[in-house]
């Protein structure tokens, strides 16, 4: 067997999620609980019944590629040749890392806290990883200065997820612009930015920054998974300069051939229906307001979500996040993801997802607060 594959450890997130009991309050979920809009599925079904489900071109249906490119309209990446349709944003990121980085030469810089898949993909490819942690005393705000300072001699790409899973922080326009100008000012080959925009339609602040709007060597990954409650559809895309996309399509072609034709028709219907990409946005706005109320009431230290559907809460000093996650399931029947799953810098925190029912989320948060009270040195006495 390939030792690089054998060396990849299991996922702590899945390990904790597997503890869930039928009675558990699940704040561990990484996917929407809404039902998808059936009109998009109906359109794909009508297509399939009329035309069957044949291969599309490797890079995806031309009409869909064009619709995606023009929807975002990023400078220099607003045409068909700037898009490759992929198997969810997971394959979009995989293809980006694989097309960009040479394991013998290059290094990937991961802005943490971060979802673990970037590091796992790099490990699978044998690509060295450098990490730069946002500071918990700044509530993990994106710090452009700090990111630029971490770019090393061998760093050829930086991956940033904003809105962020797990911190729910959003890169500001000022930070995006600062990052772009600092990287432009560097000598030598350009450093690529990979912006994981998967939570883009769950953005609750006005000044969100988009790296592709600021910097030409940006690659954007996204999908319908979170915006339209279609995680299981596996339909994503990677956007970038045409010379990058030409290489990305090769990786995609030989790894998976093309994305599912049914899924591509769903996506085409979404992109051709005005407002459809953000049809769930109002629901998330409302749920965010609820959860902010719950968090304030709880007395926990928390980071107010600027995006995504998570909220991070601080554990009492000295309480390990994995221990806390296990204790919460055993003693309080609540599933929450330990911060350590997202990088060393998030040890001592929990990531809560608030896509469940308002009652269950509120109850879960209050139980975590109770656990925290019992676990503080004072509470324990």
Q: Which is nearer to its own copies, 33 or 374 (CB)?
A: 33
**Distance from C-alpha of 291 to C-alpha of 363, rounded to nearest angstrom:** 11
Q: Which is nearer to its own copies, 90 or 278 (CB)?
A: 90
Query: Minimal distance in Å, beta carbon 102 to its own copies?
Result: 5
Q: Which is nearer to its own copies, 252 or 367 (CB)?
A: 252
User: In sequence order, what DSSP letters do the residues of 191-259 get, joined into one string?
Assistant: PEEEEE-TTTTSB-STTB--HHHH-TTEEEEEESTTTTT-GGG--EEEE--HHHHHHHHHHHHHHHSS-
Helix, strand, coil share (%) of the chain residues, nearest 5: 45, 15, 40
Query: Minimal distance in Å, beta carbon 150 to its own copies?
Result: 22
Cβ atoms of residues 97 and 79 within 8 Å: no
- Cβ of 376: how many Cβ atoms within 10 Å? 14
**Distance from C-alpha of 97 to C-alpha of 121, rounded to nearest angstrom:** 8
Query: Minimal distance in Å, beta carbon 19 to its own copies?
Result: 15
Q: Which is nearer to its own copies, 137 or 243 (CB)?
A: 243
Backbone angles phi, psi at 63, to 5 degrees: -60, -40
**Structural tokens at position 308:** 């995504």
Binding site for its own copies (CB under 8 A): 1-6, 8, 11, 31, 34-36, 38, 41, 45, 48-49, 52-56, 87-88, 90-91, 94, 98-102, 117, 120-121, 124, 229-234, 243-244, 247, 250-251, 253-263
Query: Minimal distance in Å, beta carbon 16 to its own copies?
Result: 15
Query: Minimal distance in Å, beta carbon 47 to its own copies?
Result: 10
Query: Minimal distance in Å, beta carbon 283 to its own copies?
Result: 14
Query: Minimal distance in Å, beta carbon 115 to its own copies?
Result: 11
Q: Which is nearer to its own copies, 170 or 233 (CB)?
A: 233
To which H or E segment does residue 184 belong?
A: helix 173-184
Cβ atoms of residues 147 and 132 within 8 Å: yes
Query: Minimal distance in Å, beta carbon 215 to its own copies?
Result: 17
Q: Which is nearer to its own copies, 18 or 174 (CB)?
A: 18
Pairing of strands 349-353, 310-314: antiparallel
| CB-facing half-sphere around the CA of 372: CA atoms within 13 A | 20
Q: Which is nearer to its own copies, 170 or 266 (CB)?
A: 266
Q: Which is nearer to its own copies, 57 or 299 (CB)?
A: 57
CA dihedral 265, 266, 267, 273 (to 10 degrees): 110
């Amino acid at each position: 067997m390939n030792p690089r594959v054998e060396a990849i450890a299991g996922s702590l997130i899945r390990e904790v999620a597997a503890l869930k009991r039928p009675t558990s309050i699940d704040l561990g979920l990484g996917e929407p609980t809404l039902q998808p809009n059936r009109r998009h599925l109906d359109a794909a079904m009508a297509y399939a019944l009329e035309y069957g489900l044949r291969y599309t071109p490797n890079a995806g249906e031309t009409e869909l590629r064009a619709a995606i490119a023009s929807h975002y309209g990023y400078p220099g990446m607003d045409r068909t040749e700037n898009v490759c349709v992929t198997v969810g944003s997971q394959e979009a990121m995989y293809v980006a890392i694989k097309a960009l980085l040479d394991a013998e030469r290059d290094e990937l810089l991961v802005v943490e806290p971060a979802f673990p898949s970037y590091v796992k993909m790099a490990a699978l490819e044998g690509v060295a990883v450098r990490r730069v942690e946002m500071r918990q005393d700044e509530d993990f705000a994106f710090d452009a200065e700090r990111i630029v300072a971490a770019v090393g001699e061998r760093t050829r790409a930086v991956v940033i997820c904003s809105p962020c899973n797990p911190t729910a922080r959003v890169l500001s326009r000022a930070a995006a612009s600062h990052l772009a100008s600092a990287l432009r000012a560097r000598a030598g080959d350009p450093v690529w930015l990979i912006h994981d925009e998967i939570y883009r339609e769950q953005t609750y602040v006005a000044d969100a920054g988009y790296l592709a709007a600021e910097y030409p060597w940006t690659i954007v990954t996204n999908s319908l998974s979170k915006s339209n409650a279609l995680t299981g559809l596996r339909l994503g895309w990677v956007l970038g300069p045409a010379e990058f996309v030409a290489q990305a399509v090769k990786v995609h072609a030989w790894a998976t051939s093309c994305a599912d034709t049914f899924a591509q028709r769903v996506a085409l219907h979404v992109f051709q229906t005005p407002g459809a990409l953000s049809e769930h946005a109002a629901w998330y706005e409302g749920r965010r307001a609820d959860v902010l109320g719950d968090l304030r009431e709880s007395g926990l230290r928390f980071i107010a979500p600027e995006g995504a559907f998570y909220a991070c809460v601080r554990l009492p000093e000295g309480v390990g996040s994995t221990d806390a996650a296990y204790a919460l399931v055993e003693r309080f029947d609540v599933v929450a993801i330990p911060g350590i799953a997202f990088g060393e810098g998030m040890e001592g925190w929990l990531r809560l997802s608030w896509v469940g029912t308002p009652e269950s989320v509120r109850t879960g948060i209050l139980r975590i607060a109770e656990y925290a009270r019992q676990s503080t040195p004072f509470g324990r006495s």
